Chain A
Amino acid sequence: MDQGSSVAAFAALAIAACTSSPPRPAGELRNMFDLVEGAQASEPDASAAVTIRGQPLRWLSPPYGPSQQLQQGDRDGLVVQPAFADARPAAYATSEVWDGFPRVWAQPLYVPVSGFDPLGKPIRVPDTEWIFGLGAGSRFYSPWWQTWFVTVPAGYDVEKLHSAEAVVSSGLPLTQGPLRYAAIGPREIEVAHPDGQPPVHPFTGDVLLTRLSQQGWADGQLIWFVDFGADRFRVNASLVVQEVALFRLALPGADGTPQAMDVPAIVGTGPLGTPRAADAPDGFPRFGALRHEYYALITPAPGQPVPGVFVSASRPELRAQLIAQLGAQMVPLPSDAAERLPEREQYTLRVAQDGGCFALTDFPNSCVWFDTQQSIEGNLPSTAFVDLKRFSSGALLFFDGATP
C-alpha cells in the first residue's frame, strides 16, 4: 500500500471507529402500552398485534371475511391472529414483543388469601387485588407470573400490601400457586371483536373467550391487566419461560432476502430443532405462549413441486389477492372433493409442500402440510430458517377446537 493509501485507510479506520458500532442485540421490549401506541402510529408490527378502536378488523374483513368488520368503538383490541399448531387450526394474541432478548423470565404475582379450603383451594380476601411483582415499565417485565398466595390474618390491613416489597417485608406466609399469564396494559383493551359480537376465530368461526381488563397493583400503583389464565406456560428451575418456535413462511425476494408470505404462522411445540408432543392436557394448551420467531424460507426449485396455499373457490377475493402476491401457480384451485369437505375452512391459508395435492381425490391426506414444527423442520433444509431474534407472547386463544 502506498503512503497516500495508508493515510486514507487510517483515516477511514479512525472515522469508522468514531461513528460505527457493531450490531448488538436490541434488548427492546414492547408491552401492550407500546403496541397500542405503535398501532396508533400505524407501525406494522404493532398493527399486526393491536387493532385500534373503530378500525377494521383485518382478519374478519375482506378479503378474509365477507364484509368489513370494525373493532368495538370504545376499546382497542388484541388481534386474533389465525395460526396452525400441531396440524390443527389455532389462534393467538400478541401482548408483548421482545427484540434481541436472550430469554424471558416469570416474575412473582401475589394474591391475598385468608386461607385454604379443605380441598386446598385458596380463599380470596374480598375486595383485594392481585399484586404484581413488577410493573410494565421494566424491560424485565413479562406477562408470565409465578403466583404466590399471601395468607392474610383476620384484621390485617390489606391496604399495606400494594407492592412486592410490602408483601415480602410483611413476613406473611407465602404459598406457591400456579403459573399465570396476565398482561399489564391500558384499561381499555381486550381481545379484538366487532361491536356487539364476541371474538371469533377468523376462519373457523369458533367463538373465543372475552378477556376483560382487571385492576391490580404493581409497585404501589394501580394498574390494569388482561388475564389469560393459569397454567398457560412452563418455566424451568430458574423461572426462564420455555419458548416454542414460531415459523413465518417466506419466499426469497429479488435480492434473496426472505419475504414473509401473507399466511398464518405455524406455532411449534418446542424450541427450534426440538419439537415435542403438544403439551395440551384435556385440550388446554400450555405451549405457544412464548414464541421465538423464525422465517421458514420456501425456495421452489425448477422441476420441483410448487408449494400451494389452500384457499377455497368460495373466497374469490382472497384468492385474487394471493395470486397477485404469489402467482397463480402457488394458489391452485382445490378439487370439487376438497371443496365439499365439511372441515374445508380449517385448511384456509394452510400451505402444502406440493400444491398439486389439492386436486387429488384423497385430499387433505394427499398433502404434506407445513402445519407442524416436525413437518417444517423435516421438509425444509436447515438453512431455510432465519432467526428473527424476536420473542412474542400471547397465549393461544384457540387450539384444536378448544377456547382456553
Chain B
Amino acid sequence: MRAGVLALLAASGALADGDAWSPPAAAQPSGLQINGYADIGFAAAQGNGTSFAPGDTRIPADYGTDPFATAVNSRGDVASTDPGGRFVNGFLPRSMNIGGAPSAFLSTFDVDLKYVPAALPLLLFGRVQFLPRYGGSGNETRVVVEQAFARISPFASQEFALSVGKFDSVFGIEYLENEANLRTNITPSLIARYTTGQSLGVKAFYRVQIPGIWSAISLNAAATNGGTLVETLSPPDLSLSGRPIGSARLGYELNLPAFQLKIGGSGEYGTRNDQRGVAVRQWLLGADLRVVFGGLSLSAEGVKIQQDPGAADKSNGLGPFTLVSAFAARGAYGTLAYALPLSDGAFRRLTPYLRYEQRHAQFEGFPAYTVDRLTLGFRLELWDVLIVKAEGLLNGEVSGLPQVDNDVFTSSFVYSF
C-alpha cells in the first residue's frame, strides 16, 4: 500500500514538474530517445497586430503600452512589434510579423534528444527548436538550443537531482507549460515574460514525500546567467554582469486520490542581465496555486518584479538598446479548465478553458498602467499525438494607457512524435 502511495505521489509529481524531476535514470532503459513536436498555427489580430496606439508618439514606444499582448503562439510571439518607425527600447517579445493580416505559420518544430547511460544515475538532454519566420529582412528563421543539460540523481533513495546546463525556469508554475504540446491553452499569460525563460547555470531539485498526510514538499533552486525572464528581456546565454541570478521555488503538494492541491512560493534576486552594472539589481516574488478535482483544474499565479535603473548600456536578446530604465510590475492570472473525456477513438478529450489576468506596470518616468485580458478557448486531443487548440484573447486597457484594438484569435495544431 505504502509503495503504491509513493508511486502515485511520484507519478503525479513527475507529471506536474516534468522538467524538475524524473524517475531515477538508472531505472530507465539506456539509449538515445528522439522526441519532439510541431506547432502549426493560424491567427488573426485586430488593427496592425501590435499594441501601439495610433496617435501615441511618445518615445520609447514600448514603454507606454504592452507589446506582449497580441500573442499568437505558445512561445509568446506576437502578431507584430512594428512600431512604425518610432524608437523602442527593447521591452518587446519576438514577432511572427503577420501584422493585421490573418496568416498560417509554423511556430515551432521541436526535436528533443534524451540519452540515459545504462547503470548511471544520469540523464543528458537537449532540445533544439527550428523557428521558421519571415520578416522585414526576408527569411528570419532561427534555430534555438532551448535546453541542453546534464542531470544527475546521485541518491537512489532520495528525490534529489542536480542539473548543469541550460534548462527551464524554477519560478512559479507556468514554465511547466512552455512547450505547445504540454500547454493546455495556446498563449502564455501576461506575466509569463517574467517567469518562464530558460537560462544557463546550475539547478538543484529536492522533494521529500510525507506519505502519512499524502503530501510532499519540494525545493527547486537555480543560479543562472539570465534568471527567469524570457530571452528577449534577459539574455540567458551569457552573463553580461558577471554575476549569477538566484531563483527558487518552495512547494507543497497534497495528492489525494481524487483531489490534488499544489501551492508554492517563488523568489529571485540578482543583477539585471540586460546590462553590465554589477549593482543594478532585480528581484521577483511569486505565489502559485493549482487545484485538480476530477476533470476540473484551476491554476493561478501572481508575480511582482522590481528592477533598478542602470546606465545606458541596455542589451538583450533583441540586440543593443539604450537606457536601462527602472521598472516595476505586478500581475496575476487564473485559469479554469475542464477536461471532458470523449471516447477511446479519435476524439479523446475536449478541454474548454478560460483565463483572466491583469498586469500593472511602470517604467521609470512614465505613467503606470494596467492591462487585463480574458482568454477563452478549447483544446481537443486526437488519438495521443494530435492536438487542436483555438482561443480568443480579449485585451483590455484598464488605466494609464490609450485604448487600442488588439484582440487576437489564434489557433494551434500540434503533433508530437
Chain A residues at the B interface, C-beta cutoff of 8 Å: 17, 21-22, 24-27, 100-103, 105-108, 133-135, 137-141, 146, 148, 163-165, 168-169, 174, 219-220, 237-240
Is B13 interfacial (CB 8 A cutoff)? no
Docked complex Cα distance between A174 and B56 (Å):
10
Closest residue of chain A to B89, judged by CB? A140
Complex partner residue of A100 from B57, B85, B309, B311, CB under 8 angstroms: B311
Q: Give Cα A238 to B401, complex, Å.
A: 22
Distance to closest chain B CB from A238 (angstroms):
6
Interface-side segment among B2-10, B23-31, B293-301, B363-371:
B363-371
Q: Given A21-B278, A168-B402, is A163 in contact with B367 using a C-beta cutoff of 8 Å?
A: yes
Q: Would you call A219 and B57 a contact (CB within 8 A)? A: no
- Residues from chain A with a CB closer than 8 A to the CB of B140 are none
**Contact B312 A238, beta carbon cutoff 8 Å:** no
Cross-chain contact B402 with A169 (CB below 8 angstroms)? yes
Please report the C-alpha to C-alpha distance between residue A219 and residue B325 in the assembled complex, in whole angstroms.
Answer: 18
Across the A-B interface, how many residue pairs have beta carbons closer than 8 Å? Answer: 101
Most chain B beta carbons < 10 A, residue from A100, A134, A140, A148 = A140
Annotate B145-187 by CB proximity to A: 1 below 8 A, 0 otherwise: 0000000000000000000000000000000000000000000
Contact B366 A138 (CB under 8 A): yes
B156 to chain A, nearest CB (A): 37
Q: Is the CB of B57 within 8 A of A148?
A: yes
Contacts of B417 in A (CB 8 A): none
B367 and A139 within 8 A (CB)? no
Q: How far, in whole Å, are A139 and B326 apart by their CA atoms in the complex?
A: 10
The residues of B that contact A105 with a CB separation of less than 8 Å are 59, 87
Q: A25-B311, A135-B365 are in contact. Are A140 and B86 (CB under 8 A)?
A: no
Q: Which 3 A-B pairs have the closest CB atoms?
A: A138-B365, A27-B312, A168-B402
- Please, how many angstroms separate the alpha-carbon atoms of A101 and B161 in the complex? 46
With a cutoff of 8 Å between Cβ atoms, the chain B residues found around residue A103 in the complex are 322
Name B276's contact: one of A21, A146, A174 (CB within 8 Å). Answer: A21
Cβ of A240: which chain B residues have Cβ within 8 Å of it?
87
Q: Which residue of A lies closest to B401 (CB)?
A: A165
Q: Is the interface of B mostly helix, strand, loop or mixed?
A: loop
Closest Cβ–Cβ distance, residue B307 to chain A (whole Å)? 14
Given contacts A105-B59, A164-B64, A239-B86, list 14 more A-B pairs with CB under 8 A.
A22-B276, A24-B312, A24-B313, A25-B313, A27-B313, A101-B312, A102-B322, A139-B309, A140-B325, A140-B365, A163-B367, A164-B56, A174-B55, A238-B85
Q: Is the CB of A102 within 8 A of B58?
A: no
| CA distance in complex: A25, B276 (Å) | 10
Residue of A nearest to B53 (CB): A168
A140 with B55, Cβ < 8 A, contacts A26-B311, A238-B86 known: no
Q: How far is the CA of A106 from the CA of B87 in the complex (A)?
A: 11
Contact A239 B322 (CB under 8 A): no
Could you tell me the distance between the alpha carbons of A106 and B367 in the complex, rounded to whole angstroms? 18
A135 and B324 CA atoms in complex are apart in Å by 18
Q: How far is the CA of A219 from the CA of B309 in the complex (A)?
A: 20
B91 nearest CB across to chain A (Å): 12
Given contacts A165-B400, A165-B401, contact A25 B312 (CB under 8 A): yes
Closest to B365 in A: A138
B277 touches A21 (CB 8 A): yes
With the chains together, A263 CA to B367 CA distance in Å? 43
Report how far A165 CA is from B55 CA in the complex, Å.
10
Interface residues of B (CB under 8 A from A): 53, 55-60, 63-64, 85-87, 89, 241-242, 275-279, 309-313, 322-325, 363-367, 369, 400-403
The complex places the Cα of A100 from the Cα of B325 at a distance, in Å, of 14
Cβ–Cβ contact B364 & A138, under 8 A: yes
> Do residues A24 and B276 form an inter-chain contact, with CB atoms below 8 A?
yes
What residues on B are CB-neighbors of A107 within 8 Å?
Answer: 57-59
B60 x A237 contact (CB < 8 A): no
Which residues of chain B are within 8 angstroms of A168 by Cβ–Cβ distance? 53, 55-56, 402
- In contact, B312 and A26 (Cβ under 8 angstroms): yes
Q: Is the CB of B402 within 8 A of A27?
A: no
Is the beta-carbon distance between A140 and B324 smaller than 8 angstroms? no
27 contacts between A and B (CB under 8 A): A17-B242, A21-B278, A24-B277, A24-B313, A26-B312, A27-B311, A27-B322, A107-B57, A107-B59, A108-B56, A108-B58, A134-B58, A135-B365, A137-B365, A138-B364, A139-B323, A140-B89, A140-B323, A140-B366, A164-B58, A165-B400, A165-B402, A168-B402, A169-B53, A220-B367, A238-B87, A239-B59
- Report the minimal beta-carbon distance from B63 to chain A, rounded to whole angstroms: 7
CA distance in complex: A32, B344 (Å): 73
Q: State the CA gap A222–B367 with chains docked (Å).
A: 14
| Chain A residue at minimum C-beta to C-beta distance from B400 | A165
Taken together as a complex, chains A and B put the C-alpha atoms of A134 and B85 apart, in Å, by: 19
Given contacts A134-B366, A237-B85, contact A108 B57 (CB under 8 A): yes
Which residues on the A side are within 8 Å of B85 (C-beta)? 237-238
**Chain A residues within 8 Å of B89, by CB:** 140
CB-CB under 8 A from B56, the residues of chain A are 108, 164-165, 168
Q: Specify which chain B residues have a CB less than 8 angstroms from the CB of A21 in the assembled complex.
A: 241, 276-279
A247 to chain B, nearest CB (A): 23
CB A314 to nearest CB in B, in angstroms, measures 47
How far apart are the CA atoms of A220 and B400 in the complex, in Å? 10
Residues of A within 8 A of B53 (CB): 168-169
Residue in chain A with minimal CB distance to B324: A27
Contacts of B313 in A (CB 8 A): 24-25, 27
Residue of B nearest to A135 (CB): B365
Chain A residue numbers with a CB within 8 Å of B86 are: 238-239
Complex Cα spacing A164 to B279, Å: 33
Q: Which of B57, B58, B364 gathers the greatest number of chain A CB atoms within 10 Å? A: B57
| Neighbouring B residues of A237 by C-beta, 8 Å | 85
- Specify the chain A residue showing the minimal Cβ separation from B56: A168
* A135 to B276 Cα, complex, angstroms: 28
Q: Which residues of A contact B87 (CB under 8 A)?
A: 105, 238-240
Q: Which chain A residues lie closer than 8 Å to B310 at the CB level? A: 27
Q: Which of A22, A25, A164 has the most CB of B within 10 A?
A: A164
Min Cβ gap B233→A in Å is: 18
Determine if A134 and B365 form an interchain contact, defined as CB atoms under 8 angstroms apart.
yes
Alpha-carbon gap, A140 to B58, bound state (A): 9
Determine the chain A residues whose CB is within 8 A of the CB of B323 once the complex forms: 27, 101, 139-140
B401 / chain A contacts, CB cutoff of 8 Å: 165
Contacts of A220 on B, CB cut-off 8 Å?
367
Q: How distant is the Cα of A169 from the Cα of B309 in the complex, in angstroms?
A: 29
B366 partner residues in chain A, CB cutoff 8 A: 134, 138, 140, 219
Neighbouring B residues of A239 by C-beta, 8 Å = 57, 59, 86-87
Most buried by A among B60, B278, B322, B324: B322
Q: Which residues of the other chain, B, contact A146 by a CB distance below 8 angstroms?
A: 57
Nearest-CB residue, chain A, relative to B366: A138
Q: What is the distance, in angstroms, from A108's C-beta to the closest C-beta of chain B?
A: 4
* B311 CB contacts on chain A under 8 angstroms: 24-27, 100
Complex formed: what's the CA distance from A141 to B59 in Å? 9
Contacts of A27 in B (CB 8 A): 310-313, 322-324
Nearest chain A CB to B310 CB, angstrom units = 7
Contacts of B369 in A (CB 8 A): 165
- Report chain B residues within 8 Å CB of A108: 56-58
Report how far A168 CA is from B58 CA in the complex, Å: 10
Could you tell me if B55 and A139 are in contact, using CB atoms closer than 8 angstroms? no
Are B365 and A139 closer than 8 Å at their CB atoms?
A: yes
Q: How far is the CB of B405 from chain A (nearest CB, A)?
A: 12
